[in-house]
Amino acid sequence: MISSSGSVEPDYFIMNSQLIVAITAFSTFVMGESNSLANFNEQALAQHEISLENRQPDSWVNGIFKDNILLNLAYLDGRVSKKEDIDWDEVRKPFTYQFRLNPGEAFAYHEDVLPEYKDKVVRTTNAHFNAADGFQSDGYLVGDGVCHLASLIYWVAKDAGLDTQAPTNHDFAVIPDISKEYGVSIYNYPGRVEANARQNLYISNNKEKVITFKFEYDGTNLKVSAVETN
């Protein structure tokens, strides 16, 4: 209130303070409700996790597999687009990433695809798994380990009920934590388009809603989830 002398009475400030508190509380409530609704509108379809510390019994070879998996993920999420971009300290850090597939859209592990996927693929891992891309060799193959990542993604997509195809199985070698039925053989050699296409992974969103693939790496374990957005 304003007194006859023109000064502001204390209850004016009290009333305004109470109003500010009320508005702040209401805003917090609305934001909380929005976050709750956002979470409520997501339905988890499948989720699986592997350790990157047990890809191979030999610790040095395991390090190669682990680095190749993490580098492949760095190409996927855009942190790396060419060999010159690679900062191994950054590549090895924990991270989270996600990408979406709209109804009818498809993911392929690399760009050499079977004819039926030619106009459907909207996303790949953006890599070729070779030395030119910065992938490492364990003395046997350059890029060893990426098949483990492909198999994990395939496992999640299958359990999520998505339309999946992996033409060449990885049954010639064990992939720790993943059953042989989900093993995927990945191959990409310049100029061998047909052979490459048969050693690829294809995932199509056959749902009526958006599917989000989420990747979470905590420094040891890699978790992949498929979530449907209502």
pLDDT tens digits, one per residue of 166-220: 999 998 899 999 999 999 999 999 999 999 999 999 999 999 999 999 999 999 9
Q: For residue 146, give the nearest of 121, 183, 111, 120 by alpha carbon.
A: 183
What are the structural domain ranges in the chain? 1-40, 43-229
User: Is residue 62 within 8 Å of 55, Cβ to Cβ?
Assistant: yes
Per-residue tokens: 48:
């699986």
Q: What is the pTM of this model?
A: 0.82
What length does the chain have? 230
- Give 80-137 as a 3 state SS string: CCCHHHCCHHHHCCCEEEEEEECCCCEEECCCCCCHHHCCCEEECCCCCCCHHHCCCE
Average pLDDT, the chain: 87
How far apart (Å, rounded) are the C-alpha atoms in residues 78 and 194? Answer: 27
pLDDT band at 40 (very low <50, low <70, confident <90, very high): low
